[in-house]
């Protein structure tokens, strides 16, 4: 609000939803912003402080704008400006918070409860006048302390009950000294550095220009660093392990080095500070080691001569030569003894450092090459293998040459621009020297080029290729380029010391250079012809693949333009370079000839299938090219099948399925044809069956089965089960021709002739038993018994599959001959053989009888056994074990049947009990009036009127329900439906009365009672009698049906009915199960019958 010259409201600001006990606070202060100074009003109530800037424009108009907001986590009772950048807040817990206004950072917190601050409660509550103030003013008075706190000249005065306390900000020196008194040197240095950089908050006493402030703070920091160094030396533990002393100085010395470098006072660091720390040998070592990371990060480039010398000696004494090398290449070494450093580097194999010293210290780029060449040239010229150290030197030499030719310094940085042309010329002149300075008479010409080519031809040529790319506009460099190419040709072509791979690398390099549009090189074409004849020499079998690969790279690099193509193909064919032939044929689009290249190449033979598939499948090839490839593949089909039948079958199924008959005629070898058809017709892992295979003639499948009978008869039955497209009659003749009984039985069964299949399997079993009898004295009886067991299992499985669709007489015609076949051999064994075979055959016979008992009645089985002439002569003891086993099985099944019956009876009893409890339970109405007429149910309407209560709780008069058409006459009784529930469902379910079985209890279940208030004694007697003789009405029957449907599986009533039919006399007459109709239709003879032994479902009680 402005008061002068007239009253005017400049801005309104809402309180918002504040705590009524919060103290409202206002505080003004002048704040410098940009080039002007304006007042800022801080307004607060609660935990949010709002800053409002008041500004006057040129016209004199006052503007009030919102600035930042300060959100706090405590309730304020006082707000005080201590200067334009810092405010001091007092919360309700009497804690002072020093806040930086710009960053809103809390700088310090001070507890002032000991001040015993004076509050203005008595004045706000007006205790002297009897407290006649508003409730709001009284609430604020609890925390009001307006007159107890004031600020002046950067000081804040707090009025206590016994004293006055003054709070002020320390100046920057006092803040540092305060930390130093507590021996917090690292914190003091960090705070001083923040003053130096101008990042500190609430700074007092540091004024003037920024540079002057930095000088003042830097002087103070240097004083602190010397104090810190003195303390580090004094506090060093005199006794104990050396590790303890090292750890002590590792915590302190890096701090000194770091701040000296930040202040850019290396003169101080390497003179006074280094001398002070050198008084302790451990501190000196730690100081030298901590310099390494600064040197590697290029933060410390120059060292004094003494420190550098001590550093190298220190690392050398501790065998840390890798650190020495890493430091040297990052330093200015002009202050060092270069000869001494070079000697040290050479003795310790520090080649990077040695090269750096030569280059940086003396601008000498050739001497390092000469030194390295001397080491690797001798063993290479003598043909000896290089050591690991020599290989490292050779690799460094190649990289160094590459850097020099590219204008880069080794190992890092760049060569000065004014030296780049000079360095390139020096390196070229060095490489093309005719002899070395100290050459022996035996030295060959161009030793340096020769040495590099012998060391690593490919990498040296790559270095030259990268260099030649920068020679486009440099005439002198182009001359060097031609000169080097001539030398390369002279050294490698006229010398037999180089391998075909090395010569090939040279001509590949030349071909790439000649293929460039701006090429200026000249190479005699005769040389390319000589290289071609050298690589394609048919008399040289050594390094065949290497020579072929070199020639292929040469052609792919553009060297093909240097050769006559027809001559190249002839030479490649003679040398058996099939990849070269493929390359040439592909250029001419003669794809059919490439098939021969693959088939003749022993390494890539099986790749021919993928190649043919790609040609015939991938778009981009003309119809003539695809047809020629297709014809060539058809002509080579027999060779490809013999190569890999599986891949050939996949190819035929994809591209040649229509010519399958022609392909079969071409395959003359029966076994090869068998392998091919097996791959075609039988599924394999990773192979997809073509959709065209089912369209093939059945004769193909039958031919395969015929071949399978010849070459793999044991797998015929499996193949018959897997295959589908064959004729049964023709296939059966094939199986019978090869006397494969199991396959014949399978086909007969598939045909529908179950008895014929059984006779075949029976014949096979009998033949196995005859062999067992004849070979009983030999040691092969174990294998023979296994054959008998397998054949018997297959025969039993056949009988079981067939018995489900046969009557009792037909079943006996299957099972009894099988029983006789198993029992008859037991009579023919000699006494010695009987001891060996009696038990195994009895076990097999019991297995058969157990399977047989599921389809043939036990009395019939016993009768058939006792009618046997052998056992009818009083030798019942011989089959005692057999009969006892059958009776034991019978007892087990009888016990299982009784247990099942008891479980079903208990289940049914529980269901019926639950149903009876459900249908006889009383119903509780929700209200005592009719839901239609809304009258009390006791109110009499007519004599015949009854009360009807539904399970949903709704109550009606019977006449009211009839008026709403909610009663249906069925079989002399009335079926009622709830009017309210039915009316809700009519919209979605039609107008038919709907029963409410979706609830846990059927809602159509009702209780009726006459409405007469004075029933007669006869009626009461009749009602009691009717209640006693409860009969299920249609609604109750419907509820019972729903309860039955809650149980999944076969009906319990159906099971009990069958049990009562089959078990009329409990245990008496249980052997009368031989009736055919009962055995055929009983659920106990059904293989799919399952017992659902689950707990009963939960119902609503």
Range among 108-112, 931-935, 997-1001 rated most confident:
108-112
Peptide bond into 5 cis (omega under 30): yes
Mean pLDDT of 538-555: 72
- 828 against 826, higher pLDDT: 826
Q: Are 1038 and 1003 in contact (CB under 8 A)?
A: no
Q: Are 605 and 611 in contact (CB under 8 A)?
A: no
Q: How do residues 963-999 score in pLDDT, each as one tens digit?
A: 888 887 776 677 888 888 887 765 544 434 333 333 3
Q: In the prediction, which pLDDT does 97 show?
A: 92
- 830 against 357, higher pLDDT: 357
Which of 154-158, 838-842, 1035-1039 is predicted with the least confidence, judged by mean pLDDT?
A: 1035-1039
Q: Which residues contact 94 (CB under 8 A, 6 or more apart)?
A: 111, 112, 113, 115, 117
Extract the tokens encoding 569: 């193909």
Please give the Cα distance from 982 to 993 (Å, whole number): 7
Q: With bands split at pLDDT 50, 70 and 90, how would you rate the model's confidence at 827?
A: low
Check pLDDT > 50 for residue 1015. Answer: no
Which of 493-502, 714-723, 800-809, 937-946 is predicted with the least confidence, judged by mean pLDDT?
A: 937-946
Check pLDDT > 50 for residue 882. Answer: yes
- 470 against 54, higher pLDDT: 54
Q: In the prediction, which pLDDT does 992 show?
A: 40
Q: Which residues contact 177 (CB under 8 A, 6 or more apart)?
A: none
- 1069 against 395, higher pLDDT: 395
Extract the tokens encoding 271: 């003179």
Please give the Cα distance from 701 to 680 (Å, whole number): 10
Check pLDDT > 80 for residue 152. Answer: yes
Computed on alpha carbons and rounded to an integer, the radius of gyration of the chain in Å comes to 56
Check pLDDT > 50 for residue 955. Answer: yes
Extract the tokens encoding 925: 């109405």
Report the C-alpha dihedral over residues 935, 940, 943, 945, rounded to 10 degrees.
Answer: 20
Please give the Cα distance from 699 to 684 (Å, whole number): 22
Q: In the prediction, which pLDDT does 721 show?
A: 84
Q: Which residues contact 400 (CB under 8 A, 6 or more apart)?
A: 355, 368, 369, 372, 410
Please give the Cα distance from 929 to 673 (Å, whole number): 94
Q: In the prediction, which pLDDT does 1020 show?
A: 39
Please state the pTM of the whole predicted model: 0.49
Q: Which residues contact 1038 (CB under 8 A, 6 or more apart)?
A: 995, 997, 1002, 1004
Please give the Cα distance from 527 to 514 (Å, whole number): 14
Extract the tokens encoding 912: 């019926």
Q: Of 927, 921, 842, 930, whose CA–CA distance to 879 is shortest?
A: 842
Extract the tokens encoding 1060: 């009562």
Q: Are 388 and 444 in contact (CB under 8 A)?
A: no
Q: In the prediction, which pLDDT does 239 show?
A: 60
Mean pLDDT of 663-676: 87
Extract the tokens encoding 135: 């409730």
Mean pLDDT of 76-86: 88
Peptide bond into 693 cis (omega under 30): no
Mean pLDDT of 404-408: 87
Q: Are 221 and 264 in contact (CB under 8 A)?
A: no
Helix locations, 712-868, DSSP H = 716-722, 728-737, 741-751, 754-774, 781-803, 808-823, 831-852, 858-866
Extract the tokens encoding 1007: 């209780």
Report the chain's mean pLDDT, rounded to a whole number: 78
Mean pLDDT of 251-260: 89
Left if phi > 0, otherwise alpha if psi is -120 to 50, otherwise beta: which for 116?
A: left
Please give the Cα distance from 364 to 660 (Å, whole number): 79
SS3 563: coil
**Bridging pattern class, strands 973-976 and 25-33:** unpaired
Number of CB atoms found within 10 A of residue 1056's CB: 16
Q: With bands split at pLDDT 50, 70 and 90, how would you rate the model's confidence at 667?
A: confident
- 1038 against 460, higher pLDDT: 460
Report the C-alpha dihedral over residues 428, 434, 440, 443, rounded to 10 degrees.
Answer: 100
Please give the Cα distance from 202 to 1021 (Å, whole number): 105
Q: In the prediction, which pLDDT does 1089 show?
A: 53
Which of 448-462, 500-514, 717-731 is predicted with the least confidence, judged by mean pLDDT?
A: 500-514
Check pLDDT > 80 for residue 838. Answer: no
Q: In the prediction, which pLDDT does 869 show?
A: 58
Range among 47-51, 241-245, 939-943, 1071-1075 rated most confident:
47-51
Go through the chain and tell me how many residues it has: 1101
Residue 956 has what DSSP assignment?
A: E
Range among 657-666, 846-855, 1086-1095 rated most confident:
657-666
Please give the Cα distance from 920 to 547 (Å, whole number): 103
CA atoms within 13 A on the CB side of 291: 27
Which of 497-501, 574-578, 653-657 is predicted with the least confidence, judged by mean pLDDT?
A: 497-501
**Bridging pattern class, strands 76-81 and 62-71:** unpaired
Q: With bands split at pLDDT 50, 70 and 90, how would you rate the model's confidence at 942?
A: low
Q: In the prediction, which pLDDT does 89 show?
A: 92
- 654 against 438, higher pLDDT: 654
- 127 against 646, higher pLDDT: 646
Q: Are 761 and 748 in contact (CB under 8 A)?
A: no
């Amino acid at each position: 609000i402005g008061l002068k010259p007239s009253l005017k409201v400049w801005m309104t600001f809402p309180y918002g939803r504040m705590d009524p006990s919060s103290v409202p606070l206002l505080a003004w202060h002048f704040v410098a912003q940009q080039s002007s100074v304006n007042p800022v009003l801080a307004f607060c109530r609660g935990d949010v402080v709002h800053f409002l800037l008041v500004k006057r424009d040129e016209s004199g108009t006052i503007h009030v704008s919102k600035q930042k907001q300060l959100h706090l986590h405590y309730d304020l009772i006082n707000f005080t400006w201590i200067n334009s950048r810092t405010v001091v807040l007092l919360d309700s817990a009497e804690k002072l918070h020093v806040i930086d206004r710009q960053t809103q950072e809390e700088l310090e917190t001070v507890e002032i409860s000991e001040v015993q601050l004076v509050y203005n409660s008595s004045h706000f509550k007006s205790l002297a006048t009897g407290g006649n103030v508003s409730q709001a003013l009284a609430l604020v008075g609890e925390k009001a302390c307006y007159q107890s706190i004031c600020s002046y000249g950067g000081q804040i005065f707090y009025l206590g009950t016994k004293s006055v306390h003054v709070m002020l900000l320390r100046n920057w020196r006092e803040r540092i000294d305060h930390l130093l008194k507590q021996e917090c040197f690292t914190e003091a240095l960090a705070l001083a550095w923040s003053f130096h950089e101008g990042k500190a908050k609430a700074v007092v006493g540091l004024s003037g220009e920024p540079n002057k402030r930095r000088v003042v703070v830097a002087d103070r920091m240097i004083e602190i660093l010397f104090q810190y160094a003195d303390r580090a030396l004094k506090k060093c533990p005199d006794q104990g392990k050396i590790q303890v002393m090292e750890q002590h100085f590792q915590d302190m010395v890096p701090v000194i080095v770091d701040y000296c470098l930040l202040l850019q006072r290396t003169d101080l660091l390497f003179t006074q500070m280094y001398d002070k720390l050198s008084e302790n040998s451990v501190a000196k070592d730690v100081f030298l080691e901590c310099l390494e990371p600064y040197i590697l990060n290029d933060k410390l480039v120059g060292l004094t001569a003494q420190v550098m010398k001590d550093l190298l000696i220190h690392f050398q004494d501790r065998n840390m030569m890798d650190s020495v090398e890493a430091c040297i290449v990052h330093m200015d070494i002009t202050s060092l003894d270069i000869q001494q450093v070079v000697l040290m580097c050479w003795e310790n194999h520090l080649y990077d450092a040695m090269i750096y010293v030569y280059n940086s210290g003396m601008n000498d780029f050739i001497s390092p090459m000469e030194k390295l060449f001397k080491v690797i040239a001798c063993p290479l010229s003598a043909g000896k293998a290089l050591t690991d150290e020599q290989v490292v030197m050779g690799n460094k030499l190649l990289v160094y040459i590459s850097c020099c030719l590219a204008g880069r310094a080794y190992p890092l940085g760049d060569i000065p621009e004014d030296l780049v042309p000079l360095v390139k010329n020096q390196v070229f002149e060095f490489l093309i020297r005719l002899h070395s300075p100290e050459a022996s008479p035996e030295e060959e010409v161009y030793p340096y080029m020769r040495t590099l080519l012998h060391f690593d031809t490919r990498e040296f040529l790559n270095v030259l290729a990268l260099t030649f790319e920068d020679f486009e506009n440099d005439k002198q460099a182009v001359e060097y380029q031609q000169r080097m190419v001539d030398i390369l040709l002279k050294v490698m072509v006229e010398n037999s010391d180089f391998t075909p791979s090395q010569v090939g690398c040279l001509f590949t390099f030349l071909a790439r250079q000649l293929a460039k549009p701006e090429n200026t090189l000249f190479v005699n074409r005769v040389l390319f012809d000589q290289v071609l004849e050298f690589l394609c020499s048919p008399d040289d079998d050594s390094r065949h693949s290497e020579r072929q690969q070199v020639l292929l790279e040469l052609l792919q690099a553009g060297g093909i333009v240097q050769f006559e193509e027809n001559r190249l193909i002839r030479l490649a064919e003679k040398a058996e370079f099939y990849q070269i032939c493929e390359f040439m044929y592909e250029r001419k689009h003669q794809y059919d000839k490439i098939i021969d290249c693959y088939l003749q190449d022993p390494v890539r033979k099986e790749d021919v299938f993928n190649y043919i598939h790609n040609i015939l499948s991938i778009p981009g090839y003309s119809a003539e090219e695809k047809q020629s490839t297709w014809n060539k593949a058809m002509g080579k089909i027999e060779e490809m099948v013999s190569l890999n039948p599986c891949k050939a079958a996949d190819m035929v199924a994809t591209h040649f399925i229509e010519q399958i008959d022609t392909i079969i005629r071409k395959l003359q070898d029966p076994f090869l044809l068998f392998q091919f058809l097996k791959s075609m017709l039988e599924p394999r892992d990773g192979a997809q069956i073509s959709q065209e295979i089912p369209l093939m003639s059945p004769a193909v499948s039958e031919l395969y089965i015929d071949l399978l009978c010849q070459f793999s008869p044991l797998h015929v039955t499996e193949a018959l089960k897997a295959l589908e497209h064959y004729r049964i009659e023709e296939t059966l003749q094939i199986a019978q021709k090869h006397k494969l009984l199991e396959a014949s039985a399978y086909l007969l069964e598939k045909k529908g002739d179950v008895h014929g299949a059984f006779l075949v399997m029976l014949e096979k079993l009998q033949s196995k038993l005859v062999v067992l009898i004849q070979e009983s004295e030999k040691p092969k009886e174990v294998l023979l018994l296994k054959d008998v067991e397998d054949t018997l299992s297959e025969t039993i499985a056949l009988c079981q599959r067939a018995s489900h669709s046969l009557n009792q007489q037909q079943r006996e015609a299957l099972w009894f001959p099988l029983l006789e076949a198993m029992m008859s051999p037991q009579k023919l064994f000699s006494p010695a053989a009987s001891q060996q075979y009696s038990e195994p055959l009895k076990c097999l016979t019991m297995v058969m009888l157990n399977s047989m008992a599921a389809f043939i009645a036990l009395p019939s089985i016993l009768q058939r056994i006792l009618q046997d002439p052998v056992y009818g002569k009083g030798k019942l003891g011989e089959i005692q074990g057999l009969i006892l086993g059958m009776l034991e099985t019978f007892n087990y099944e009888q016990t299982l049947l009784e247990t099942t019956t008891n479980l079903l009876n208990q289940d049914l009893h529980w269901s019926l009990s639950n149903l009876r409890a459900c249908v006889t339970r009383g119903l509780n109405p929700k209200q005592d009036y009719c839901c239609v007429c809304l009258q009390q149910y006791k109110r009499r309407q007519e004599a015949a009127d009854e009360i009807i209560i539904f399970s949903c709780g709704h109550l009606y008069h019977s006449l009211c329900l009839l008026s709403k058409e909610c009663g249906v006459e069925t079989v002399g009784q009335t079926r009622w439906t709830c009017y309210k529930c039915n009316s809700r469902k009519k919209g979605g379910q039609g107008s038919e009365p709907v029963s409410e079985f979706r609830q846990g209890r059927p809602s159509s279940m009702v209780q009726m009672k006459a409405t007469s208030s004075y029933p007669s004694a006869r009626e009461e007697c009749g009602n009691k009698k009717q209640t006693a003789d409860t009969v299920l009405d249609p609604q109750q029957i419907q509820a019972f049906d729903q309860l039955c449907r809650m149980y999944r599986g076969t009906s319990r009533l159906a099971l009990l009915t069958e049990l009562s039919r089959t078990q009329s006399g409990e245990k008496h007459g249980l052997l009368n199960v031989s009736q055919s109709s009962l055995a055929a239709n009983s659920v106990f003879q059904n293989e799919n019958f399952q017992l659902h032994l689950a707990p009963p479902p939960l119902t609503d009680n």
